[in-house]
Amino acid sequence: MRDAAIASMACPRCRGAVVVEGGSLRCPAGHTFDVARAGYVSMLTGTGAGAAADSAAMVAARRRSLAAGQLRPVTDILVVAARESTVRGLVVDIGGGTGHHLAAVLDALPQADGLVVDLSRAAARVAAGAHPRMSAAVSDVREGLPLRDGSVSLLLDVFAPRAGAEMRRVLRPDGTLLVITPAPTHLVELRDVPGMLRVDSDKQERLERSLGTWFRLRERRAVEWLMTLDRAEVRDIVLMGPSAHHVDADRLDETLAAFLEPIVVTGAVDLSTWLPI
């Protein structure tokens, strides 16, 4: 764990500041959170916490897709937007998974440190070693972020849950929030795969309703690209995201057997830049 990340973190139970004590993080109230051998800290609370997290298989599929460059346009647009923002401290990727996007942002911002906050231990294990200036914490963002008020300079949210009040609480007054959401045509060629989730047509309106109380929208950018894939790569695209919780892998293989290779699949996302109110 990097010092810059620890200095910005807070106990998820009482929001007290945490310090390193042995192999753990500890707050003044005595709440203790162990740092795993892989280098991430688990700050989950409550029984059953993390039950809905991405599995090791989902994380492996995501790593293969990212390594193959399938989501490179997402990474690139985040890097461009991060360079345009004023970053004076910590960059936090909410639901940041393996840390792939954050690592690229940190390469573009050599003075910044980064922190991935994700529900998945499997993802955090990868993220903890994804970049020399990156730390990782396991936490359920729906129950609050394990961060101090006004401790974050740049927030990233890529296909992840959003809690407007919490985001505003942890972001500096001069900070920036970058949100990536799927556009209606994202993976449109795969919509008929049994169990595949679809993008709501009113997703942007819901995004503005969820954030508009605490942030103002500065701009929105749309990015669309084509991916030329084989069946194994399509399988990874399907099973790396939330659809994996609804798709039967065996039935997916049967469906993909009918696809002719190469398989051209559309990628389409919107990047919105938000400033605190």
Strand partners, 90: 113, 152
Range of the domain at 187: 50-276
Q: Could you tell me if residue 122 is inside a domain?
A: yes
CB burial of residue 184 (10 Å; 0-12, 13-18, 19+) = middle
Backbone angles phi, psi at 240, to 5 degrees: -85, -15
- Total tally of structural domains belonging to the chain: 1
Backbone angles phi, psi at 85, to 5 degrees: -85, 165
Q: Could you tell me if residue 26 is inside a domain?
A: no
DSSP for 6-32, written as a single string: HHHBB-TTT--B-EEETTEEE-TT--E
Mean pLDDT of 87-91: 90
Buried b / exposed e over 97-112, threshold 16 CB at 10 Å, is bbbbbbbbbbeebeeb
Q: Could you tell me if residue 141 is inside a domain?
A: yes
CATH number at 156 reads: 3.40.50.150
Answer yes or no: is pLDDT of 201 > 80: no
Q: Could you tell me if residue 197 is inside a domain?
A: yes
DSSP for 83-110, written as a single string: HHS---SEEEEET-TTSHHHHHHHHH-T
Q: Could you tell me if residue 150 is inside a domain?
A: yes
Report residue 46's pLDDT band, with 50, 70 and 90 as the boundaries. Answer: low
Answer yes or no: is pLDDT of 17 > 90: yes
Lowest mean pLDDT among 44-58, 85-99, 188-202, 220-234: 44-58
DSSP structure class, residue 146: S
Q: Could you tell me if residue 123 is inside a domain?
A: yes
Nearest to 76 by CA among 269, 227, 207: 269
CB atoms within 10 A of CB 194: 11
Answer yes or no: is pLDDT of 56 > 60: yes
* Residues whose CB is less than 8 angstroms from the CB of residue 48 and which lie 6 or more positions away in sequence, other chains included: none
The whole-number pLDDT of residue 200 equals: 80
Answer yes or no: is pLDDT of 111 > 70: yes
Q: Could you tell me if residue 21 is inside a domain?
A: no
Q: Could you tell me if residue 18 is inside a domain?
A: no
Residue pair 161/106 in contact by the 8 Å Cβ criterion: no
Mean pLDDT of 184-188: 95
CA 6 – CA 24 distance, rounded (Å): 11
Answer yes or no: is pLDDT of 202 > 60: yes
